[in-house]
Amino acid sequence: MSKVKESIKVGVIGATGYTGSELLRLLLQHANVQLSMVTSRSDAGVSIADYWPNLRGRCDLTFVLPDVDRLADNCDLVYFATPHAVSMHMMRELMNRDVRVIDLSADFRLRDIPLWEKWYGVEHACPEVVAQAVYGLPEVNRDKIRDAKLLACAGCYPTAVQLGLIPLLEQSLIDPQDLIANVASGVSGAGRQAKVANLFAELSDNFKAYGVSGHRHLPEIVQGLDDVSPEKVNLTFVPHLLPIIRGIHATLYCKPKDFSIDFQSVFEQRYKNEPFVDVLPVGVYPETRSVKGTNVCRISVQPVEDSGVLVILVVEDNLTKGAAGQAVQAMNIMYDWDETLGLNDIALMP
């Protein structure tokens, strides 16, 4: 497969949600990308600039119905920015046409198909393709991503938790059986849908947990942590809803095997060559606003020796590093471009 290209034609399947909007924003600013086709079943014929007013003057395409032949004829790479259990119905045909695919949904993230079917409540439409998917977390799978034909982009919660715990589990520095992740997300993580629980009056001035007994991102997180840990992990994962639009804040608790280790140095060394992971100085804690609209993940390491606990704090933008930005980062790797191409935005503050 020839990878090195000066530019490629890209299609996006399903860009009427928040992740899709973020993906369009990034792709339209990318020097090596020609956005050639954007699909929507519900809004075919609608101008993208009318649907997303921030794209006025930047995109003259209209939404069209998804068609495999048309996508294959006009695209080198296709993104899926669709809800779960959608991409699997088109994936076999697209891959048979030698189109490279980056899927932002969860359809191909879990290798255990019965486990996926349990959490997502439907039968998988093309289980034979799952083994071909490369999990899209660049800080772990960069070499595999380069040659990927199908990339399953990592989820937002899983990205934050894995980047916070992987440096410790890789070196077996913590007890893998006693991991806790309290993670809070902005409401855009719930998607662009009309639900009473998502109304401004319901969300504003409020903070709540959900999915405490089980969340569908849990098996994805555990799969990723197990892949790097010499021992099986046991994780308690509690997601929360923040009264903000975008951003994730993860507070991770673990028990070190030896408190004399310089954990700050462990993280600094692990991520020293990672363009989108920023390990903060000792005593500086990350804020969600510091990564808004960027592909940056910021991490702080805080030992609490009196309690025997090591606390890891992680922030990211759930729509960017947690979804669309990470997908663009993976695309850059797949085509041997500068990994930061199109992803150098500075966070919006205030």
Burial of residue 346 (CB within 10 Å: 0-12, 13-18, 19+) is exposed
Q: Which residue out of 59, 156, 254, 297 is catalytically annotated?
A: 156
Side by side, the strands of the sheet bearing 179-185 are 208-209, 235-241, 179-185, 248-254, 309-316, 297-304, 277-279
For this structure, is 297 an active site residue?
no
Domain 157-317 has CATH 3.30.360.10: yes
Provide the whole-model pTM. Answer: 0.96
Q: Where are the domains of the chain?
A: 8-154+322-334, 157-317
Same fold flag, 8-154+322-334 and 157-317: no
H/E segment holding residue 297: strand 297-304
Instruction: Give 47's DSSP letter.
Output: B
What lies within 8 Å, CB to CB, of 213 at 6+ separation is none
| Tokens describing residue 75 | 């695209």
Q: Which residue has the tokens 């808004």?
A: 292
The one-digit pLDDT tens for each residue of the chain (350 residues) are 445 678 999 999 999 999 999 999 999 999 999 999 999 999 999 999 999 999 999 999 999 999 999 999 999 999 999 999 999 999 999 999 999 999 999 999 999 999 999 999 999 999 999 999 999 999 999 999 999 999 999 999 999 999 999 999 999 999 999 999 999 999 998 888 778 888 888 889 999 999 999 999 999 999 999 999 999 999 999 999 999 999 999 999 999 999 999 999 999 999 999 999 999 999 999 999 999 999 999 999 999 989 999 999 999 999 999 999 999 999 999 999 999 999 999 999 98
CA–CA dist 24, 59 (Å, integer): 9
Q: What is the distance between the alpha carbons of residues 106 and 99, in angstroms, rounded to a whole number?
A: 19
Rg (Cα) of the chain, in Å, rounded? 20
Level-2 CATH architecture, domain 8-154+322-334: 3-Layer(aba) Sandwich (3.40)
SS3 152: strand
